[in-house]
Amino acid sequence: MLEHYFVKPQTVDRIRASWLGESIERYVAWLVEQGYAVRNIHRRVPLLVQFGEFAQKRGAKCLGDLPIHVSAFVEDWLGKRPHHRKGGGRRELANEVRGPVEQMLRLVIPGCTAGTRRGPWDPPFAKEAPGFFPYLREERGLKEGSLRAYGFHLRRLRKYLKRVGVYELGALSPVLLSAFVADCGGVDESGQSGKRLGRSSMIGLCCSLRVFLRYLHREGIVARDLSPAVESPRHYRLADIPRSISWEEVRRVLEVVDRRTAGGRRDYAMLLLMVTYGLRGHEVAGLTLDDLDWKRERLCVPERKAGHSTAYPLSATVGEAIVDYFQHGRPQTTDRHLFLRVTAPHLPLRGYSVGNRATHYLRKADIRVARPGSHTFRHSCVQRLVDAEFSFKTIGDYVGHRSPSSTEVYTKVAIEGLREVALGDGEAIL
């Protein structure tokens, strides 16, 4: 494998003579399989050889010893090159050095999580209530994303209990729980909100906490059910205004997408799916080639948030955009996911990646909206259906709402009429 990328036999011999030679060659094979450019192989291999020599001098004797030497290697590498980029550019350079090393370690060391955004799943209160997360997964049927949300909130509770000197769940009380909720939603000593939770997050925290407390009572870990002691912030029905944009603004966003590039073709198809069918970001990311029925001109969206699937007629505009992406933008791979990363490794996009691309084009089109993202286009789809006077039931089924109340919020505001009033041209509608 190495002979295909390094012309001089001496170079190949030097790489293989390294005590990481076998691991480096395996990593090169993986890079080729994932579609990395040749220049990446030329840049990364010498770096890995240097890392092997550095770690060996510091006492590394096996692959398992390597992760603890990564940070020191990066600092040493940058220290020997003071003329390289400074400031933010130097931080980027450090990531360019660290990335290939940690990527190889994850490949050759079983269970290695070096450099991953999320470490191993560490459920809070695993010793005190070991069955809680299996209960959520198996009895309540929650998905991993929901389990992570429960973990986020319960880690805050664990940290708070440790801070106030409470180490047993049996010591929980209504007063203690009220103080915890107030601590999460209040302000810090300087009067700033800091890392306190917003209203929506507070509602999620209180819901998670009540479920946890009911489980503790059911299992006999606490003497009585403390869930009634947890009160959520008041949330008035239909209090929010949808974050939709006008159809003219949707056109502006679509026009700024550069469809001459592979990424532009992909993003254009994703935006059309969101604004045409009201799909959520994770629903777009989860689409596979098997969800497209070209013969019957149908699009199937499986495993929606409400726990059901939806089949749509495949719009000609959407179909043409997907075909264009297939022919001129989608990487050649055996992966069945519809939308993939443009650059290697060609992995499936995640839901947050879809949202990031939507945010990018909203800002590029200079459209200001609160919390821009994939839901902006979903809201625009729903608002257009409401303006067309479809029934709430029809709209809710179309976009996969779990409850009619999710649709009713769009009837609260005459969006276009208020826009005319704001511009000073709408006195006739008052």
User: What CATH number should be reported for the domain holding residue 278?
Assistant: 1.10.443.10
pLDDT of residue 239: 55
Over the stretch 267-308, which tens digit does the pLDDT of each residue have?
A: 999 999 999 999 999 999 999 999 999 999 999 998 776 567
Given 162, 197, 229, which residue is the final one in a domain?
229
> If you count them, how many residues does the chain have?
430
361 is catalytic: no
85 is catalytic: no
Whether 367 is in a domain gets the answer yes
Whether 239 is in a domain gets the answer no
Whether 258 is in a domain gets the answer yes
Catalytic pick among 265, 304, 378, 379:
378
CATH number assigned to the domain comprising residue 170: 1.10.150.130
Catalytic pick among 43, 163, 305, 402:
305
Whether 93 is in a domain gets the answer yes
Whether 255 is in a domain gets the answer yes
Given 197, 229, 261, which residue is the final one in a domain?
229
Pairwise pLDDT comparison (189 vs 51), residue with the higher score: 51
378 is catalytic: yes
The whole-angstrom separation of Cα 153 and Cα 137 is: 17
pLDDT of residue 189: 43
Catalytic pick among 280, 328, 368, 371:
280
The whole-angstrom separation of Cα 135 and Cα 115 is: 31
pLDDT of residue 192: 42
Pairwise pLDDT comparison (426 vs 28), residue with the higher score: 28
* R_g of the chain, CA atoms, integer Å: 27
Stated pTM of the model: 0.71
pLDDT of residue 391: 80
330 is catalytic: no
Residues 251 and 202 in one domain: no
Domain coverage including residue 165: 132-229
Given 108, 141, 160, which residue is the final one in a domain?
108
pLDDT of residue 306: 58
The whole-angstrom separation of Cα 381 and Cα 275 is: 5
DSSP string, 171-196: G--HHHHHHHHHHHHS--TTS--TT-
DSSP string, 333-377: -S--BSSB-SSSS-PBPPHHHHHHHHHHHHHHTT---SS-SHHHH
Residues 212 and 331 in one domain: no
pLDDT of residue 293: 93
410 is catalytic: yes
- DSSP summary character for residue 232: P
pLDDT of residue 175: 93
Q: What is the mean pLDDT of residues 104-128?
A: 79
Q: Give the side-chain half-sphere CA count within 13 A for 141.
A: 4
Residues 378 and 315 in one domain: yes
Tell me which of 76-85, 244-253, 297-306 is least confident.
Answer: 76-85
Q: What is the mean pLDDT of residues 422-430?
A: 54
Q: What is the mean pLDDT of residues 204-210?
A: 93
pLDDT of residue 255: 95
pLDDT of residue 85: 53
304 is catalytic: no
Q: How many domains does the chain have?
A: 3
Residues 71 and 16 in one domain: yes
